[in-house]
Amino acid sequence: MAKTQLPSDAEARAEDAYERFGTRKPRCSVSGCPVTDWRQITGDEPEHLVCYEHRAEQQGRSPIEDEHPAGRHNDAQFTVPFLGNLHRATDDGKKDWPKETLLNPEGSPALKAAACVRAAGDWLLMIVGCLLGWVALFLEWLDERLTELHGRRWWEEFGLPEQFAAAGLEAS
């Protein structure tokens, strides 16, 4: 039976990267690039870290690569063009899949199906993270600013419609 790796494997990979980078807060050194994800950074000195896409461009390569969603061993033909930084992140996530599922040495259709399900789950998490990951931080920042400017119950000053109060904005 395939053994699922522990989430601490990703944490160990992150720690290795932080040690290699010489910082726990890696950032692409290209001006204006917001990339800080350790899986998407290359280099080994804090002032020379570059995201994978910028490194590809510096080397004259395209920042777009072919992603094998279920893994190359499960379906070598099906690929999706992917930005290099996201490709690095999705490939790193596959390291947490059971080895038998990812490598599928006998070509088991059940393991191929498992890889497809895992890929779909990983992609959904990535899409939600990319589209919505910033929203909670923004709303918390916005609440902080509105509280500073208009007080702890700022929404009352704005006269928000009753349906917002019914959604949980009423007094606690």
For 133-159, write each residue's pLDDT tens digit. Answer: 889 889 999 999 999 999 998 888 888
Residue 3 maps to a domain:
no
pLDDT (0 to 100) of residue 62: 97
**Domain limits for position 73:** 8-169
The model's pTM = 0.71
Residue 106 maps to a domain:
yes
For 26-53, write each residue's pLDDT tens digit. Answer: 999 999 999 999 999 999 888 899 999 9
Residue 130 maps to a domain:
yes
For 59-69, write each residue's pLDDT tens digit. Answer: 999 999 999 99
Residue 136 maps to a domain:
yes
Alpha-carbon distance of 115 to 90, in angstroms, equals 13
